[in-house]
Copies of this chain bind each other. A is one copy, B any other.
Amino acid sequence: MTRPRDNILRLDAYAPGEQPAAGTRVVKLNTNESPYPPSPKAMDAIASVGTEALRIYPSPTAQPFREAAARVHGLSADQLIATNGGDELLRLILTCYCKPAGHAGQGGIGVTDPTYSLYPVLASIHDTAVTAVERGDGFSLPGGTAKRWNEAGCAVGFIVNPHAPTGRIETPDTLRQLADEFRGLLVIDEAYVDFAEGDAAELIREGRDNVLLLRSLSKGYGLAGLRFGYGLSHADNIAALDKARDSYNTDAVSQAAAVAALDDRAYAEGCWAKVIAERGRMTSELRQRSFEVPDSHTNFVLATAPGTGAPDNTAAKHAHAIYHGLKERGILVRYFNAPRLDDKLRITIGTPEQNTALLDALDELL
């Protein structure tokens, strides 16, 4: 009787990217963190949190943050929810909108494959169905996605845009059409949008009630360690999520740091510009080394190893060998042992020095 539920026992839990032990000297280009520290103003905000703010319960809704983010996005505070990382928001969406198994197979989630590997894990935890639509050539969004999700009765559809792990981007018009056609809640996961031109916030400002955007301070604001994300949607959706979140889901320190980070947009924009410049350099340098590298709109590139299309899938073996060779040289990148990805490396854009170290190591290896 004290056994956990079968869906939990069966669950293959989410595997976070490799994190080297503290003090290890590595060039860490495997988990898409910002190569730059958070804003000094965020650090000041953390150091300034007083004992009284820690002694008492924090704002349950992170109200000061909601108001700051509302100003940034031209929305009202009741169209925003602050969460303990974007991951909490994803989970809350399933809790509020998806039906656990036993409800006639309807009400699950739709994804496009490949995608953020956490989505199917969250679906397993919630014991709800996953409908995966395979991405097209060049990992493009297939035309019939909404139709497929509708046929499967998906309550929620997840699109990462810009897309992970490929770095592609869809236009707001494409997303608008998807929202028009899909009968569930369309979640646009904009974890990487700070490195792209423009976002999809206009879909929320238009007053649509079936779109939700996810934002994160982990990548664009150098605050992966802080766990702070937020959602933008119609106030009715936010009200539902707000009822289901843990009573005090974000703490006093992270609320203060998040407000300061968001307010210091000039600093963040400076970091994004440096990453974007280096992304251009890395794309070009990797192409010169015979990698196939599509244009990226994120803080990483997905690089196909030389040898693609060879009948013995040379690139797959090559990508894995390069991953290991880099690791031996103290450089971590991400290798996915998965169909369509096993001939590729996902490389986070680092500082110019880190990126050069990677290129130098490749020159040794290739």
**Residues in B neighbouring A16, C-beta threshold 8 A:** 57, 60, 247-248
Most central of A37, A97, A224 by chain B CB within 10 Å: A224
Mark out the residues of chain A between 40 and 87 whose CB falls within 8 Å of any chain B CB in the assembled complex. Answer: 42-43, 46-47, 49, 51-60, 84-85, 87
Other-chain residue from B102, B224, B248, B252 in contact with A55 (beta carbon distance below 8 A): B224
The segment out of A4-12, A161-169, A291-299 that lies at the interface is A4-12
Q: Which residue of B lies closest to A17 (CB)?
A: B57
The segment out of A27-35, A133-141, A262-270, A322-330 that lies at the interface is A27-35
Would you call B240 and A4 a contact (CB within 8 A)? yes
**Residues in B neighbouring A321, C-beta threshold 8 A:** none
Q: How many residues of A contact B (CB 8 A)?
A: 79
Would you call A251 and B237 a contact (CB within 8 A)? no
Would you call B209 and A246 a contact (CB within 8 A)? no
Tell me if A184 is interfacial: C-beta within 8 Å of chain B.
yes
Tell me if A231 is interfacial: C-beta within 8 Å of chain B.
no
A338 to chain B, nearest CB (A): 18
Tell me if A205 is interfacial: C-beta within 8 Å of chain B.
no
Tell me if A342 is interfacial: C-beta within 8 Å of chain B.
no
Known contacts being A46-B49, A49-B46, is A55 close to B96, with CB within 8 Å? Answer: no
Tell me if A309 is interfacial: C-beta within 8 Å of chain B.
no
Compute how far the CA of A222 lies from the CA of B57 in the bound complex, rounded to whole angstroms.
10
A123 to chain B, nearest CB (A): 12
Would you call B85 and A209 a contact (CB within 8 A)? no
A203 to chain B, nearest CB (A): 13
Compute how far the CA of A266 lies from the CA of B328 in the bound complex, rounded to whole angstroms.
46
Q: Which residue of B lies closest to A61 (CB)?
A: B16
A219 to chain B, nearest CB (A): 10
Would you call B85 and A246 a contact (CB within 8 A)? yes
Compute how far the CA of A96 lies from the CA of B2 in the bound complex, rounded to whole angstroms.
10
Compute how far the CA of A100 lies from the CA of B101 in the bound complex, rounded to whole angstroms.
9
Compute how far the CA of A289 lies from the CA of B155 in the bound complex, rounded to whole angstroms.
59
Tell me if A311 is interfacial: C-beta within 8 Å of chain B.
no
**Residues in B neighbouring A91, C-beta threshold 8 A:** 246
Mark out the residues of chain A between 200 and 255 whose CB falls within 8 Å of any chain B CB in the assembled complex. Answer: 209-210, 218, 222-227, 237, 240, 242-244, 246-254
Q: Which residue of B lies closest to A154 (CB)?
A: B1
Question: Which A residues have a C-beta under 8 Å from some C-beta of B?
Answer: 1-2, 4-5, 8-9, 11, 13-14, 16-17, 19, 28, 31, 33-34, 36-38, 42-43, 46-47, 49, 51-60, 84-85, 87-88, 91, 95-100, 102-103, 107, 118, 125, 127, 155, 183-185, 209-210, 218, 222-227, 237, 240, 242-244, 246-254, 257
13 A-B contact pairs sorted by A residue (CB < 8 Å):
A2-B185, A2-B209, A2-B237, A8-B243, A13-B242, A19-B56, A33-B57, A46-B47, A49-B225, A54-B223, A58-B227, A85-B246, A85-B248
Given contacts A38-B51, A253-B257, 14 further A-B contacts (CB under 8 A): A1-B155, A2-B209, A2-B210, A8-B95, A11-B243, A11-B244, A54-B222, A54-B223, A54-B257, A55-B222, A58-B224, A85-B246, A87-B248, A226-B253
Q: Which 5 pairs, one residue from A and one from B, show the smallest C-beta to C-beta distance?
A: A37-B51, A225-B252, A4-B240, A54-B225, A13-B243
